[in-house]
Amino acid sequence: MSAPTLSLRVAIVGAGPAGIYAGNLLATAVKERGGALEIDLFESLPAPYGLIRYGVAPDHPRIKGIVNSLHEMLDAFPDTAEGEPAASRRTIRFIGNVEVGRDISLEELRERYHAVILATGAIRDAALDIPGVDLPGSYGAADFVAWFDGHPDVARTWPLEASSVAVIGNGNVALDVARVLAKHAVDLRSTEIPDNVLEGLESSAVTDVHVFGRRGPADIKFTPIELRELGEVNDVDIVLHDEDFDGVDPASATNNQLKVMLRTLNSWRDRPAGSASRRLHLHFWHAPVEITGDGRVEGIRFEKTRTDAEGRLVRTGEFRDYDVQAVYRAVGYYGTRVVDAPFDEARGVIPNDAGRVDAEPGLYATGWIKRGPVGLIGHTKSDALETITNLVADAEAGLLTAAKTDDDVLDVLDASGTAYTTWDGWLALDAHERHLGETHRHTRERVKVVPREEQVAVSRDGALVR
């Protein structure tokens, strides 16, 4: 006796890479089984792509190229023409500018779908528990990234009066923050950086950016491309300290990527002293102890570290002080919870077993909200595969509860007056931003629209706003 054909309605909360990968993998799995599938992909912002649009520095066109593959996934099926049967609907329907827990409840979703996948990611900064962390002039890297990427829910201005700045962290986000701070605004004019951000950076007083890591050069969490780009920034000297490299041998690196990066760092050490107008200092073996200042940031104190015979990081009792007027904390992200969904406050994730949310049949998680904010964007796809494999297995085993109602969720949103956006709306906004880029005084691929209300207006009217 053959297994029954799958027929599923699934909601995905979050239209970043995690949610889109999950939707595409689910659509492929159901299609291979000859089943029927409808996915509604909910996003709290008017536009899709999440981390790619609002978490990647604007001078990274290669990374932003991932948008092209995500676009192909969402654009794989035509919109339903009025009067066409439900069977001809697009498999994945984008519903933007809708926050689950505010515009519609998680329970309302679960009533209308066989399964709900939470892919809300992590957009808040992880805490750094040291004295002085709340002083004015101490900033979370996530907030700064959201500003320079034109996130609609952050302020349009950013204080850039500091001449000397500390960035705490040894990952790609720390490098993005440091590079944008050190880079001359004129070298960002060809990117999709918003005009208000460009104007802010043009007035920046920065001359020195210091990047601090707890461990040594052999433990950096950068990628070779990120590191190499740092050395190519115009009119910025890279400053390294020989004491940080004692005993560090590229030949003993644990992998080829690290070997390449250590060779890159060594090549910078061999450069003659430069005369650039700005400097980017890389410090290793520094554990932050205290941010100091009388009423605002005036300095930062570190304790030097080393590794013991067993490779454990230990503190040495030696302290170093640096005069800085701003501190950027790039020590990780913290998950974005969904109202009424289980949440592990300590870890910042939704508790789950391989994507199945604990004690919540029919509820799943994927991406950073599932496993924590670790790994590169590409790792999200394999992570989604695990979740989708288990969802499909549950469906085939008859473990998913049938939807309680066939009501279209758009009727609920219409009744509440929610100004949601659609895939066609995103195509209109995308065309509008590209049009602005073509006519801009600095020719660029696009000029990103920042205000939420303007994004929604263009998306819903489907016409260019001159």
What strands, in cross-sheet order, belong to the sheet with 236-239? 138-140, 326-329, 164-168, 208-212, 278-283, 236-239
Query: pLDDT tens digits for 264-288?
Result: 999 999 888 789 999 999 999 999 9
Between CA 245 and CA 254, with CA 249 as vertex, the angle to 5 degrees is: 115
- Exposure string for 63-90, b = 16+ CB within 10 A, e = fewer: bbebbeebbebbeeeeeeeeeeeeeebb
Residue 462's pLDDT is what? 66
Torsional sign, CA 404, 405, 410, 415:
negative
Residue 229's pLDDT is what? 86
Residue 66's pLDDT is what? 78
**What gap in Å lies between CA 391 and CA 410, rounded to an integer?**
24
User: Which mean pLDDT values do the consecutive 10-residue runs of the chain (466 residues) have?
Assistant: 72 95 93 92 96 88 74 63 44 94 96 97 91 98 96 95 97 93 93 91 97 94 86 94 91 90 92 90 97 98 94 95 98 93 95 96 96 79 94 96 90 95 94 88 81 95 56
Residue 81's pLDDT is what? 42
**What gap in Å lies between CA 44 and CA 32, rounded to an integer?**
31
Is-contact 165 216, C-beta < 8 A?
Answer: no
Is-contact 445 192, C-beta < 8 A?
Answer: yes
**What gap in Å lies between CA 448 and CA 434, rounded to an integer?**
8
Is-contact 388 381, C-beta < 8 A?
Answer: no
What tokens were used for 371? 């496993």
In 3D, which of 446, 140, 147, 174 has the Cα closest to residue 283? Answer: 174
**What gap in Å lies between CA 47 and CA 430, rounded to an integer?**
9
What tokens were used for 374? 């670790």
Query: With 0-12 CB in 10 A as exposed, 13-18 as middle and 19+ as buried, what is 410?
Result: middle
Residue 78's pLDDT is what? 42
Residue type at position 87: A
In 3D, which of 299, 332, 276 has the Cα closest to residue 165? Answer: 299
Residue 188's pLDDT is what? 92
Q: Helix-strand-coil percent breakdown of the chain, rounded to 5?
A: 35, 20, 45
Other beta carbons within 10 Å of 131: 11
Other beta carbons within 10 Å of 156: 15
**What gap in Å lies between CA 460 and CA 336, rounded to an integer?**
27
SS3 annotation, 143-211: HHHHHHCCCCCCCCCCCCCCCEEEEECCEHHHHHHHHHHHCCHHHHCCCCCCHHHHHHHHCCCCCEEEE
Residue 278's pLDDT is what? 97
